[in-house]
């Protein structure tokens, strides 16, 4: 029985042609994974932008409500003073009732137009993206603005309670003195008018900061979406390379399997082009 002749050794060119479809398939798979990953990141940042937009809307709604409340109290103050037919309440109107009331001195000062004081450190509202710092800078500004608003609320609480106590005591003791009673009521309304006005501005600052973060999140989402699209195009090019290499192998090897692989690759490319252009 004659010996089977040994296979001729493959040249480097033959090895490269045989390995090309495999390498290109691996490359296409990697870029397909990168495209999917970037699209997931784009969707994540778009959802973050939606959350920030909701927070910005809430802050603007709070600011609008407090601004409206401030205007109502301002009108109420003027109506009460007009009915009292005298000037605003003075410290002498509240001083007899300050004994035993915590923070009475501050409350009297606020009721007579000396407060509440505006926050010392207003939050920094950055410029539009490209002219300001990073997202971390905006996050720091938001935390600072929230801390400023919380500190303002906490510092106001005890003094407002003292103002309520003084207001009630003055109304009870001066019930027979209608002008003074009306002036006392006007002083309390005017205090809330000023407080709501300051709080509205704090909410406006927070709303602006959240809107800046919305813009940054949307820009980040668009960046990942563009990267996903470009990775997808690279993957298509690699798949086209797989098809071309398979056709070359089919021509060289005269193999039915390589012909079928080439046809499958060509059909996939044509379907992809049709979907991209027609749908």
Residue 156 to residue 143: CA distance in whole angstroms:
20
Q: Which residue has the higher pLDDT, 219 or 167?
A: 219
Residue 57 to residue 65: CA distance in whole angstroms:
12
For residues 246 and 265, the answer to whether their CB atoms sit within 8 Å is yes
What integer is the mean pLDDT of 125-132?
50
96 Cα distance to chain centroid? 51
Residue 14 to residue 12: CA distance in whole angstroms:
5
Full 3-state SS string of the chain: CCCCCCCCCCCHHHHHHHHHHHHHHHHHHHHHHHHHHHHHHHHHHHHHHHHHHHHHHHHHHHHHHHHHHHHHHHHHHHHHHHHHCCCCCCHHHHHHHCCCCCCHHHHHHHHHHHCCCCCCCCCCCCCCCCCCCCHHHHHHHHHHHHHHHHHHHHHHHHHHHHHHHHHHHHHHHCCCCHHHHHHHHHHHHHHHHHHHHHHHHHHHHHHHHHHHHHHHHHHHHHHHHHHHHHHHHHHHHHHHHHHHHHHHHHHHHCCHHHHHHHHHHHHHHHHHHHHHHHC
What integer is the mean pLDDT of 94-112?
77
Residue 103 to residue 110: CA distance in whole angstroms:
11
Q: What is the mean pLDDT of the chain?
A: 78
Question: Is the preceding peptide bond at 279 cis, omega within 30 degrees of 0?
Answer: no
pTM value is 0.70
What integer is the mean pLDDT of 31-41?
87
> For residue 175, what pLDDT band results from cuts at 50, 70 and 90?
low
Single out the residue of 80, 62, 65 nearest to residue 188, CA to CA.
80
Q: What is the pLDDT of residues 134-150, one digit of tens each?
A: 788 888 888 888 888 88
């Amino acid at each position: 029985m004659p010996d089977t002749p040994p296979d001729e050794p493959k040249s480097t060119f033959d090895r490269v042609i045989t390995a090309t479809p495999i390498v290109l398939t691996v490359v296409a798979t990697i870029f397909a994974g990168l495209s999917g990953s970037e699209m997931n990141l784009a969707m994540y940042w778009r959802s973050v932008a939606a959350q920030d937009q909701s927070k910005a809307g809430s802050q603007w709604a709070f600011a609008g409500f407090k601004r409206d409340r401030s205007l109502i109290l301002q009108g109420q103050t003027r109506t009460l003073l007009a009915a009292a037919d005298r000037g605003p309440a003075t410290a002498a109107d509240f001083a007899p009732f300050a004994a035993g009331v915590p923070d009475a001195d501050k409350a009297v000062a606020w009721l007579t137009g000396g407060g509440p004081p505006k926050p010392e450190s207003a939050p920094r509202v950055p410029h539009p993206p490209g002219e300001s710092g990073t997202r971390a800078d905006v996050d720091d500004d938001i935390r600072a603005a929230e801390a400023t608003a919380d500190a303002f609320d906490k510092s106001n609480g005890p003094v407002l309670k003292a103002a309520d106590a003084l207001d009630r005591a003055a109304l009870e003791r001066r019930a027979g003195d209608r002008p003074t009673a009306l002036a006392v009521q006007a002083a309390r309304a005017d205090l809330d008018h000023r407080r709501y006005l300051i709080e509205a501005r704090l909410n406006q600052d927070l709303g602006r900061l959240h809107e800046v973060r919305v813009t940054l999140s949307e820009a980040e989402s668009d960046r990942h979406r563009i990267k996903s699209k470009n990775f997808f195009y690279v993957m298509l090019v690699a798949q086209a390379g797989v098809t071309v290499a398979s056709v070359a192998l089919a021509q060289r090897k005269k193999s039915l399997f390589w012909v079928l692989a080439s046809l499958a690759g060509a059909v996939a490319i044509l379907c992809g082009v049709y979907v991209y252009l027609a749908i």
